[in-house]
Amino acid sequence: MKNGGKPSNPAREEETHSLFRAEVADVAPLGPHGRFLHPGGRLPPIPLSSLRDAREAILESLTEPIRWDEGAETGEELSYVRPGLSRQVLRRLRRGEWIVQAELDLHGLTVALAKHELADFLLECQRQGIRCVRIVHGKGLRSPNREPVLKLHLRHWLARRQEVLAYVQARPADGGGGAVVALLKGR
């Protein structure tokens, strides 16, 4: 005798069990960790109008004359820090205290194509939340007069981009005079 001395009804118990099984038939068991894993969230929306505006601004600026003095230091080594930021940012970039998360190689490209590639690269980095990048521009060894053409343009382009906080010439192990390391704004 079960149920505290009351006689059990096997037909009633079987009916109760079958009703219970029918109710939980579509229930999936929890994993071995004992937690329910929710499906991943939606990706953030892509700001198409902002991307379009930035691309248009770049296309317009292709015909503008280059001003070498805008925000860049004089001297052979490429470096820049946005006004209002500490020069300590440059020091930390030179020492390699930030990990390079993405790289763009521009050598062999024309000036116009390099500018488009740079714009697309920086927009993608900003979208992905990448903060530190290396941009290889080359040393100009195969260009006319062996001048680093893209290096001079890159100095101007990076200083004009709002997402670029600072940049320095890369360390010798990372490309030296043929590359820059840039720090970008966070989201």
CATH architecture, domain 48-184: 2-Layer Sandwich (3.30)
Q: Where are the domains of the chain?
A: 48-184
pLDDT digits (tens, 9 = 90+) for 76-133: 567 899 988 888 988 898 888 889 999 999 988 888 899 999 999 999 999 999 999 9
pLDDT digits (tens, 9 = 90+) for 69-84: 343 434 456 789 998 8
Say yes or no to pLDDT of 44 above 50: yes
Beta bridge partners of 57: none
Strand-strand pairing, 102-105 and 79-81:
unpaired
**Whole-structure pTM value:** 0.58
Q: Is 88 left (phi over 0), alpha (psi -120 to 50) or beta?
A: alpha
Enclosing H/E stretch for 17: helix 10-23
Which are the contacts of 149, defined by CB distance < 8 A and separation ≥ 6? 111, 140, 143
